[in-house]
Structure 1
């Protein structure tokens, strides 16, 4: 029996032990060939991915079906995140999640729309009672879309433990994903995690691919305690996306010292993302270097085993044989084989200026009109921060350190005009743009909570949002129209809220921020009159308002 067969059997047996109580006879949520643009556990900019992203061939509107019988336990509509999403509880004590939907199936659409009209709100979250919305295996529950924080049409699909809400790798349920491609390994990195250094010394090691599955390096000469990291990705058949991997092992002289396997996650562990991905390289170069060691005492859920945190010591005069095995869910494997010789080395410490702040300490920076406050546990570890004022700007950096919990910035305004004060907000300053931050105003003090180091300032937005009708003109007959569409825009502080009405009655405008479009379905309400008054109020984040009013004509058919 070869080593691959043993490895795969071990995985299979473990999967049976962990997930054997769950139903396996599920149907796929989409009836199109599976092509993945995202895999379970892969690191994103702010979190570990909790499910699968299934491509929908660049289109919206594919039928989405329940993978098993159950009841709809949660419906949520948001402008960001999962957009339109459905959660279904199943008898085997799992919950399936379907996100970024274009719209829901008619009975679910009717249920949630009733509450949207009661609350007079497009965004909503409801938890239907048991028995309210039952579904059968294979029943239509919605249509694929691109709502929320999606960057392109696809279905985000999850399976979770019902009680704990821990996401489970959906590939454990034998979904039709075909994959005969090995993971692609790009570069090896050696970390020297010395507690005396604010930033660890990192050395990049080039890889030489010797055959389809084996990568080698030149002999490495170094010494001291080290951890390893890899820049890598995986692809499935019929997919060109650079997706995440399933399993990694680090083997030193025949002993496994680190083993990661993405069978299950804990949602809150996304806060520790940049303890696994090297933050500095990601922010500066957009390189995702996956660290195969972990310096904190409590390991994350996907870390099956760590010997001495996955850190091992290279002693002077000794030789070490290193194997790093990287495997996808289908069992395709790539291996790095290298040798490390223990020799003297001298590490260059990155010199930083500024204030040394330990994780368990707070720190207040205060000047005439600016204040920065770091509460305890703002950072994961000891950092060195330099704060520089430049006119209205305050530079807080360098941005080499991830934030564990938000810190606070305050600006004192020298402005007597109350309207101008209300229109002023804290913004993050990028090279060519300013990003609005939710801001509180108390007398002359602006306060914002932020979760990244960088340059911040305060600016004023005195311009109201704009409203432009897209599919109609004032005084137009719209009897044959099914929808009413308008474009709303605020290119500075952004849209905060809106309210639409016809003849004084609130109507449900669905909002798609990416397209800046509001859409009303004429079938929602019946109006007896032929002449109708449309009113739309739009407000930005600092209170500037635009009121758009017009008249249109429409004869309602009782069949509408």
Structure 2
């Protein structure tokens, strides 16, 4: 009876832990065979991918269908991010998101343009009422595109819990993606996680060699170790019909056959997505661009993707004992790649004990930290970083150096420069704070000028300088000339660019009336649909003003002829 009781009890626990999703409520959002360019939970810069990216046969303009009955609950159009995005809330408690669109269905497009002309803004965010834009399953609600932060034509598709806003892997809703290939292993490392830990007599990150056996299992070369250690891997998954390197759905770590760490990408919240920087080996990523996934929980890792973990995944290796570590990499279709790592517990004299790099400043992550460096000050609010560390802060006449790019920041911090020595500069409003990317190029940081101080808020460590931008943007007409008849033109095309601080705003008018122009930052184009509005007469004056982030502006004017 006791045995039966425990079996029933465990069965209830398993059932309780498994979320059931409706598999027959949704149709596919596209009417082509679905092939993925990116999958749910894929590793991206500072975040996990929150949906699936569906290939659109390298084309824009494919019909996008509402996957179920519902209503348009949100529309957001921005230059970056999802570009043109549509949100549809469904009666079953879920909201679907369609991103990087080129345009919307007829009624939705008309609704949006009316609001854009009212606000005189291309970028807009709307929350229609329940009864304003109802849709039925199979309605054409949009057309696929490449807007926003997209690297090529595709449809970004998400499913969210309408109440909690948690994002859920769309594959749980019956969307079928062919996948017969197991994840691919690209690299394997070991980590020592204590002052007395070692792998083969060394501390730090240890590269492991491995070979694939006849049965497909990867076998690492045996290692000796002692103290707390763990492992990390670099790899990807690939679905049928595409060569894209996509994310791995689940990871299981076993120690001598017993579960030690289990994680999967079923669901997570946007609030925790930036914690990806605790999940990956961030120092290795910052140095080489390679994303190694750690099999242990580092400081600040509060991700909800773990269903099981022992001792934060840190494995205690005791001298005289043998261990077999297994790492299983799984995709959604349960194709598995297994890695076996034989470990023998043995003390070694450490030959490369690294000395902790100490600086004049020790940062406590759980409290506010304020530093004055030369003519600058830096304020790190509590929990800006994931853990305590010695922070390296320096300055000279040219720049402020804030530690290094190998340390991730979890949240924003403030940098303030005292510019008392510049207060009489007549061009003070043309100066701004710039950070430098990994290529060494300056990047505009949103800059606030108040009295004799110049400040910014940022989440990036590295080099900061005060630069001046005195050059206005460049504006060129691409498909028409001054005093030209344009009666047969469907659109007018411009290129706009700025050499340093970047473009902040643009405004176009015809005969003094604001017109809607769409900015595509990836190719510096600005487009006006000539069929949007009707104008009286045949002679028209066009004026386009483009302003950069420090206020330099260029105004382009042209006369054209068109009968509407």
**Structure 2 length-normalised TM:** 0.92
Query: Match of 2:474?
Result: 466
Query: Match of 1:379?
Result: 385
Instruction: Name stretches of at least 5 consecutive residues in structure 2 with no aligned partner.
Output: 1-9, 198-202
Contact 2:102 2:146 (8 Å CA) reproduced: yes
CA separation in 1, counterparts of 2:508 and 2:317?
68
CA separation in 2, counterparts of 1:360 and 1:20?
38
SS of the residue 1:524 aligns to: coil
Change (3 A) 1:212 1:515: farther
Change (3 A) 1:288 1:367: closer
Contact 1:21 1:92 (8 Å CA) reproduced: no
Query: Match of 2:47?
Result: 47
CA separation in 2, counterparts of 1:195 and 1:341?
19
2:436 matched to 1:444? no
Query: Match of 1:520?
Result: 528
251, 255, 266: which one pairs with 2:269?
A: 266
Contact 2:300 2:386 (8 Å CA) reproduced: no
Alignment of 1:78-117 (within 5 A): 78-117=78-117
2:484 matched to 1:479? no
Change (3 A) 1:166 1:318: same
What is the deviation of 1:272? Answer: 0.9
What is the deviation of 1:187? Answer: 2.0
Change (3 A) 1:480 1:445: same
Query: Higher mean Cα deviation, 424-433 or 453-462?
Result: 424-433
Instruction: Name stretches of at least 5 consecutive residues in structure 1 with no aligned partner.
Output: 1-9
Contact 2:23 2:172 (8 Å CA) reproduced: no
Query: Higher mean Cα deviation, 135-144 or 338-347?
Result: 338-347
Change (3 A) 1:418 1:104: farther
SS of the residue 2:138 aligns to: coil
CA separation in 2, counterparts of 1:479 and 1:110?
23
CA separation in 2, counterparts of 1:371 and 1:549?
45
Change (3 A) 1:367 1:226: closer
Alignment of 1:121-132 (within 5 A): 121-132=121-132
Contact 1:424 1:461 (8 Å CA) reproduced: yes
415, 418, 424: which one pairs with 2:422?
A: 415
Q: Deviations over 1:67-109 (max 9, x none)?
A: 1111111100011111000011111110111000011111110
Tell me how many residue pairs correspond in the alignment.
544
SS of the residue 2:158 aligns to: strand
Query: Match of 1:221?
Result: 224
**Structure 1 length-normalised TM:** 0.93
Alignment of 1:241-280 (within 5 A): 241-280=244-283
Change (3 A) 1:58 1:334: same
Contact 1:424 1:460 (8 Å CA) reproduced: yes
326, 341, 358: which one pairs with 2:364?
A: 358
2:161 matched to 1:153? no
What is the deviation of 1:17? Answer: 7.0
Alignment of 1:382-397 (within 5 A): 382-397=388-403
Alignment of 1:278-317 (within 5 A): 278-296=281-299, 299-317=302-320
What is the deviation of 1:375? Answer: 2.5
Contact 2:231 2:296 (8 Å CA) reproduced: yes
Query: Match of 1:340?
Result: 343
Query: Match of 1:7?
Result: none
SS of the residue 2:177 aligns to: coil
Query: Match of 1:403?
Result: 409
Query: Match of 1:5?
Result: none
SS of the residue 2:244 aligns to: coil
Query: Match of 1:501?
Result: 509
SS of the residue 1:523 aligns to: coil
SS of the residue 1:441 aligns to: strand
SS of the residue 1:97 aligns to: strand
Contact 2:378 2:415 (8 Å CA) reproduced: yes
CA separation in 1, counterparts of 2:75 and 2:255?
48
Contact 2:232 2:294 (8 Å CA) reproduced: yes
CA separation in 2, counterparts of 1:393 and 1:74?
43
Contact 1:97 1:157 (8 Å CA) reproduced: yes
Change (3 A) 1:350 1:265: farther
CA separation in 1, counterparts of 2:300 and 2:477?
57
SS of the residue 1:223 aligns to: strand
Change (3 A) 1:551 1:350: farther
Change (3 A) 1:266 1:339: same
Change (3 A) 1:547 1:195: farther
What is the deviation of 1:155? Answer: 0.8
Change (3 A) 1:398 1:297: closer
Root-mean-square deviation over aligned CA pairs = 2.1
Change (3 A) 1:529 1:485: same
Query: Higher mean Cα deviation, 28-37 or 500-509?
Result: 28-37
CA separation in 1, counterparts of 2:169 and 2:215?
27
SS of the residue 1:112 aligns to: helix
Change (3 A) 1:464 1:14: farther
Q: Deviations over 1:395-440 (max 9, x none)?
A: 1213321101222222222224454211000101244421111100
